[in-house]
């Protein structure tokens, strides 16, 4: 589910690298492999990392497709093949009943906070990695 997002954004990132940069690499005697490895990948590393972060963040927020695939069984799975429920599906399925039970309201809001903190953690981690990639590229 995240691969189309990652692939599409990555293609746009690598297509946005100016052709003159590649031509300059060829004019210095680099082969196609060396140009791709040392020029294209280095120039597009930040955008590729951003596409991976975008895909992962989208995966954490997916609700309906995951609900249909995983089975929406609210229990802790014992196997990889057991059914389960994810935080977005828990929130989506029980949002209508939330106002009737006060503790249920608090539990759903806590699960939304946990989901937001997980996505925030991965975004901060990606920003940290992106900063290291930028320093290494300089």
> Is 94 inside any structural domain?
no
What is residue 134's predicted lDDT score, i.e. its pLDDT?
76
In a domain, 107, yes or no: no
Query: Residue 14's domain spans which residues?
Result: 3-61+123-137
Residue 130 lies in a domain: yes
Q: Is the residue at 68 inside a domain?
A: no
Number of domains the chain is built from: 1
Domain membership flag for residue 8: yes
Question: Across the chain, what does the average pLDDT equal?
Answer: 85
pLDDT tens track for 95-107? 877 777 778 888 8
Whole-number pLDDT of residue 138: 66
Per residue in 63-92, pLDDT (tens digit) is: 777 777 777 787 888 888 888 888 888 888
Q: Residue 99 falls within a domain, yes or no?
A: no
- Separation of alpha carbons 49 and 3, rounded Å: 13
Nearest-angstrom CA–CA distance, 129 and 138: 15
Kindly state whether residue 70 falls inside one of the protein's structural domains.
no
């Amino acid at each position: 589910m995240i691969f189309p997002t990652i692939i599409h954004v990555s293609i746009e990132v690598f297509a946005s690298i100016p052709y003159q940069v590649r031509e300059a690499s060829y004019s210095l005697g680099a082969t196609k492999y060396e140009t791709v490895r040392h020029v294209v990948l280095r120039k597009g590393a930040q955008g590729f990392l951003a596409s991976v972060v975008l895909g992962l963040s989208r995966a954490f927020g997916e609700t309906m497709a995951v609900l249909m695939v995983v089975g929406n069984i609210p229990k802790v799975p014992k196997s990889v093949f057991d059914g389960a429920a994810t935080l977005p599906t828990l929130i989506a399925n029980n949002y209508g009943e939330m106002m009737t039970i006060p503790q249920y309201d608090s539990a759903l809001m806590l699960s939304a906070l946990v989901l937001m903190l997980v996505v925030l953690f991965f975004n901060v981690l990606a920003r940290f990695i992106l900063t290291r990639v930028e320093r290494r590229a300089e």
